Amino acid sequence: MSQVFSFHGGIHPPENKKQSTRAPIGKAPLPKQLVLPMQQHIGGPADPLVKVGDSVLKGQLIAEPIGRISAAVHAPTSGKVVDIAHYPIPHASGLSGECVVIETDGEDRWIEHEGIADYKAIERAQLTEHIRASGISGMGGAGFPTDVKLHLGDNHIVNTLIINAAECEPYITADDMLMRERPHEIIGGIEIIAHLLRPSHILIGIEDNKTNAIHALEAAVKHCDLNIDIIVVPTKYPSGGERQLIKLLTDIEVPAGKIPADIGIVCQNVGTTSAVYRAVHKGEPLISRIVTVTGDAVRHPKNLEVLLGTPFSSLLEACDLRPEALSRLVMGGPMMGVTVDNDRIPVIKTTNCLIAATKQEMPPAPPAQACIRCGMCEQACPADLLPQQLYWFSKGREFDKAKHHNLFDCIECGACAYVCPSNIPLVQYYRFAKSEIRTEEREQQKADHARERFEARQARLDREAAEKEAKRKARAAEAAKAQEARKAAAAKPKEEAAATATAAPDIKQLKTAAAVARTKLKKAQKAFDEAAAGNSEGLAELEQALNEARLKAEEAEKALSAGSPAPAEGGDAELKQLKVAAAVARTKLKKAQDALKNAEDKGLEGIDKLRATVEALEQKADEAQKAFDAAQPADAAAKQESAPKETPAKAEPAAEPALDAKALKQQVSIMRTKLKKAETALEAAESDEERSSLQADVDDLKKRFDEATEAFNKVEKAKMDAAAQAGIDLKQLRIDAAMAKAAITKGERALKKAEADDERAQIEQELVAAQAKSDELHKTLSQYD
Ligand code: SF4
Ligand code: SF4
């Protein structure tokens, strides 16, 4: 015989249990409609698998559990689904919930089902899954899904399995009758649960006011191989509370904020063990339960086996309700139950009692008086709380303090309110406070989630921006590197050309020498021809002079061709094309780079594509630049190097005669413009100080303009002289070249306008001749300009 301990507080209200235990468990009539809420348990609601119009069979799965903590729902009888909508559900809140409504067909046809022949032969996980699929949840009141308590994971070792058979609340006798009539189901269910949990001890806690049930269980236990202790505890409310029963049977207190499993204890209600038995041995899901229908307003109080979804009205009718006597309809017991005003509410898995009370039986609560701080509530509280303090905190909306005083350890047993001389509905205050705290916590949780999401998004954006910036910098560094490489590649041939130019004889001198030699040759040829024609004397000397002149001319030509740079492949036109192509490629690259930067800054789509385009264009620009650099002649590079730049006036070097004439001409033009501007500014000067400063600038610019002009004239004169030596009037040659060019332009315009074929052919012929002349003139001119 195991020892019985005690718990703090508790009360002894009138039991009122005998009324409903006189008759055996009856069978509730089959109603026309069953209303099945999708949430009959703690956790997530089940999800309907049927639709309106579907025919269903008894035991058919109609809603599947969603998530770990949830329970399946099955059709309690055969019929047709006629509605899936929100209906009033049995809940303290009075709210409605999603329900599947089945119109019963009266045939009560089962779906094909069978139990597990040898549950010990299958995997424990498979067995637990079978229990989950049977939709079993705690039937003692809370409705926690049973499979969750049977599969606690490796972190929980179960030492003690406690079967709660206390049924301490007045009026309720459903468990009592179940134990009296079906003890083998309870013991069979315990065996299955024990097989899954492997506890060291199995204790059944039962109040001493259930003699018949105790006897029935004791008889059934004799046929069981397990060592089960039936512990009879004194009748005291609320000994059936989970924590109170654990204290009674083991003297262990479950710490605040913990669950029994944390200290190696699992509690199951006797009704739940019976449901587990039927599910495993018979293959029957949870579709019915025993409900105590009692109260003075029914003529025949009793316990009924009721299909889930049966409306209360149907049960009251079955127990012969006296409507005129009904004052209050209570769902559950008088201490923890909820008053309902709608008899269409259906029975669910946790409905254990329905009290149809008369006015005398449950008179309306007298008006609440002020708390007199008598402390009786504290003495009655089985959870060792300070109900009076909790009341003040709840009333004053000081929820933090209420929480700090372990409000959530309150099991809402109502013992405090029962003893309160001021008739204060204390439990209502606690329920209100709990609900407010839960709402606040939910809001806080939502806000936390929103904040976390925002912070995560912000972090992601920052990270992406940093990555973009790093990539951009890398690309910029790469582009700079490529630019450097291009510059180095371009500088190399220039350096080589400069070196070659330094080492090689002056091209212009060679040209001049060749032209002079050609002129002398011409003269010698002319003299020889005239002498030969006139049969003059000295022909032999003239012939020798001619040969010498020819030899010199050939040598000069050879020297010129050896010193001249190799013409670029394809000539000037191609060079221009390459230059244009390089510039176009650079422009395209710049545009693509701008588009990429814009897209990255604004986080637009298609960045990868743009990046690929930029890379491709970078390559093309590189190639175009290389092609241009390679095609550029060495002297062009030298020209570029020596070309005047828009540098500050004072830094400009004095013009040297060796400089390119074109560059010098340009420099003269720039200096002229600057000088004009400076003179205009000087005229507009208002103060003496400003005037003197500007005058200095004008003088300086004039000096440099004169120097540039002198340098240009010097170069120009040198060219004229060189040309003259070759018998060429450079001025006239330029005029002729310009006229030849004008003639071509004119001819091209005429060709565009010409309509007749003859006319076109004529103009084309003239154009060819003009082009040839122009080429010839420019070729000669290019030797000096
Ligand atoms: S029993 Fe009622 S009156 Fe007495 S202390 Fe508690 S709340 Fe106040
Ligand atoms: S309702 Fe709460 S505070 Fe009141 S006696 Fe029960 S456990 Fe204690």
Minimum CA distance residue for ligand 2 atom 3: 387
Inter-residue contact 192 to 282 (CB < 8 Å): no
Inter-residue contact 64 to 46 (CB < 8 Å): yes
Q: How confident is the model over 277-301, as a mean pLDDT?
A: 98
Q: How confident is the model over 778-783, as a mean pLDDT?
A: 78
Inter-residue contact 42 to 145 (CB < 8 Å): yes
Q: How confident is the model over 555-569, as a mean pLDDT?
A: 66
Query: CA–CA separation, 384 vs 10, rounded Å?
Result: 10
Q: Is 224 annotated as a binding residue?
A: no
Position with higher pLDDT, 597 vs 277: 277
Ligand 2 atom with minimal separation from the 377 CA: 5
Do the domains 18-357 and 368-503 sit in the same CATH topology, yes or no? no
Please determine, for residue 264, whether its predicted confidence score (pLDDT) is greater than 70.
yes
Report in angstroms the alpha-carbon separations of 358 from 295, 299, 442: 7, 12, 40
Find, among 562, 561, 557, the residue nearest to 521 by Cα.
557
pLDDT score, position 215: 98
Q: Is 381 in the pocket of ligand 2 (CB under 6 A)?
A: yes
Write down the domain spans for the chain. Answer: 18-357, 368-503, 730-782
Q: How far is the CA of 74 from the centre of ligand 2 (A)?
A: 36
Q: How far is the CA of 392 from the centre of ligand 2 (A)?
A: 14
pLDDT tens column, 445-474: 999 989 988 988 889 889 988 998 898 888
Inter-residue contact 297 to 326 (CB < 8 Å): yes
Position with higher pLDDT, 382 vs 471: 382
pLDDT score, position 662: 76
**The three-state (H, E, C) secondary structure of 585-623, written as one string:** HHHHHHHHHHHHHHHHHHCCCCHHHHHHHHHHHHHHHHH
Please determine, for residue 513, whether its predicted confidence score (pLDDT) is greater than 90.
no
Q: Is 267 annotated as a binding residue?
A: no
| β-bridge partners, 306 | 289
Q: How confident is the model over 588-617, as a mean pLDDT?
A: 79
Q: Is 744 in the pocket of ligand 1 (CB under 6 A)?
A: no
Q: What phi and psi, each to the nearest 5 degrees, are found at residue 55?
A: -90, 140
Please determine, for residue 734, whether its predicted confidence score (pLDDT) is greater than 60.
yes
Position with higher pLDDT, 234 vs 759: 234
Q: Is 416 annotated as a binding residue?
A: yes
Across 9-13, 124-128, 708-712, least confident range: 708-712
Find, among 494, 493, 482, 492, the residue nearest to 621 by Cα.
482
H or E stretch at 104: strand 96-104
Q: Is 377 annotated as a binding residue?
A: yes
Q: Is 119 in the pocket of ligand 1 (CB under 6 A)?
A: no
Find, among 238, 172, 244, 243, the residue nearest to 427 by Cα.
238
Tokens 């039986």, residue? 361
Inter-residue contact 556 to 549 (CB < 8 Å): no
DSSP state, residue 278: I
Across 11-20, 488-497, 603-612, 685-694, least confident range: 488-497
Please determine, for residue 645, whether its predicted confidence score (pLDDT) is greater than 50.
no
Position with higher pLDDT, 423 vs 596: 423
Ligand 2 atom with minimal separation from the 387 CA: 3
Written as one letter, the residue type at 599 is A
Q: Does the domain at residues 368-503 carry the CATH identifier 1.10.1060? A: yes
Please determine, for residue 764, whether its predicted confidence score (pLDDT) is greater than 90.
no
Query: Strand, helix or coil at 100?
Result: strand
Q: How far is the CA of 384 from the centre of ligand 2 (A)?
A: 8
User: Among 81-95, 174-188, 429-443, 496-510, which range has the highest average pLDDT?
Assistant: 174-188
Q: Which residues contact 369 (CB under 8 A, 6 or more apart)?
A: 421, 422, 423, 424
Across 105-119, 277-291, 422-436, 502-516, least confident range: 502-516
Please determine, for residue 647, whether its predicted confidence score (pLDDT) is greater than 50.
no
**DSSP string covering 341-380:** S-TTPBP-TT--EEEEE-TTTSPPPPPP-------HHHHH
Q: Is 420 annotated as a binding residue?
A: yes
Percent pLDDT > 90 in the chain is 54
Inter-residue contact 765 to 747 (CB < 8 Å): no
pLDDT score, position 474: 87
Please determine, for residue 652, whether its predicted confidence score (pLDDT) is greater than 80.
no
Q: Which residues contact 235 (CB under 8 A, 6 or more apart)?
A: 12, 15, 168, 207, 208, 209
Please determine, for residue 261, whether its predicted confidence score (pLDDT) is greater than 50.
yes
Q: Which two three-digit tokens encode residue 474?
A: 């890398």
Q: How confident is the model over 403-420, as a mean pLDDT?
A: 96
Minimum CA distance residue for ligand 1 atom 2: 420
Ligand 1 atom with minimal separation from the 391 CA: 7
pLDDT score, position 744: 86
Minimum CA distance residue for ligand 2 atom 4: 416
Write out the E strands in 552-598. Answer: none
Find, among 178, 148, 137, the residue nearest to 276 by Cα.
137
Q: What phi and psi, each to the nearest 5 degrees, are found at residue 512?
A: -60, -45
Q: How far is the CA of 434 from the centre of ligand 2 (A)?
A: 13
Please determine, for residue 655, whether its predicted confidence score (pLDDT) is greater than 50.
no
Query: CA–CA separation, 192 vs 184, rounded Å?
Result: 12
Q: Is 614 in the pocket of ligand 2 (CB under 6 A)?
A: no
pLDDT score, position 678: 86
Q: Is 419 in the pocket of ligand 2 (CB under 6 A)?
A: no
Query: Strand, helix or coil at 99?
Result: strand
Q: Is 394 in the pocket of ligand 1 (CB under 6 A)?
A: no
Contacts 24+ apart (CB under 8 A), 552-557: 552/517, 552/520, 552/521, 553/514, 553/517, 553/518, 553/520, 553/521, 555/517, 556/510, 556/513, 556/514, 556/516, 556/517, 556/518, 557/514, 557/517, 557/518
Minimum CA distance residue for ligand 2 atom 7: 410
Ligand nearest the Cα of residue 371 is 1
Find, among 163, 269, 240, 233, the residue nearest to 6 by Cα.
233
pLDDT tens column, 345-355: 999 999 999 99
In the chain, DSSP finds a helix count (H) and a strand count (E) of 22, 17
pLDDT score, position 433: 96
Q: Is 353 annotated as a binding residue?
A: no
pLDDT score, position 648: 38
Percent pLDDT > 70 in the chain is 91
pLDDT score, position 574: 65
Ligand nearest the Cα of residue 402 is 2
pLDDT band at residue 712 using 50, 70 and 90 as cut-offs: confident
Position with higher pLDDT, 626 vs 162: 162
pLDDT score, position 38: 97
- For the chain, what is the radius of gyration of the CA atoms? 56
pLDDT band at residue 497 using 50, 70 and 90 as cut-offs: low
Please determine, for residue 340, whether its predicted confidence score (pLDDT) is greater than 90.
yes
- Annotation: CATH topology of 18-357: Rossmann fold (3.40.50)
Q: How far is the CA of 426 from the centre of ligand 2 (A)?
A: 8
Q: How confident is the model over 117-133, as a mean pLDDT?
A: 96
Find, among 53, 11, 60, 549, the residue nearest to 285 by Cα.
60
Mean pLDDT taken over the chain: 87
Please determine, for residue 222, whether its predicted confidence score (pLDDT) is greater than 60.
yes
pLDDT score, position 564: 57
Minimum CA distance residue for ligand 2 atom 6: 413
| β-bridge partners, 331 | 338, 354
Inter-residue contact 261 to 158 (CB < 8 Å): yes
Position with higher pLDDT, 26 vs 559: 26
Q: Which residues contact 723 (CB under 8 A, 6 or more apart)?
A: 515, 729, 730, 733, 784
Query: CA–CA separation, 138 vs 298, rounded Å?
Result: 28
pLDDT band at residue 653 using 50, 70 and 90 as cut-offs: very low
Report in angstroms the alpha-carbon separations of 776 from 136, 306, 509, 782: 109, 120, 21, 10
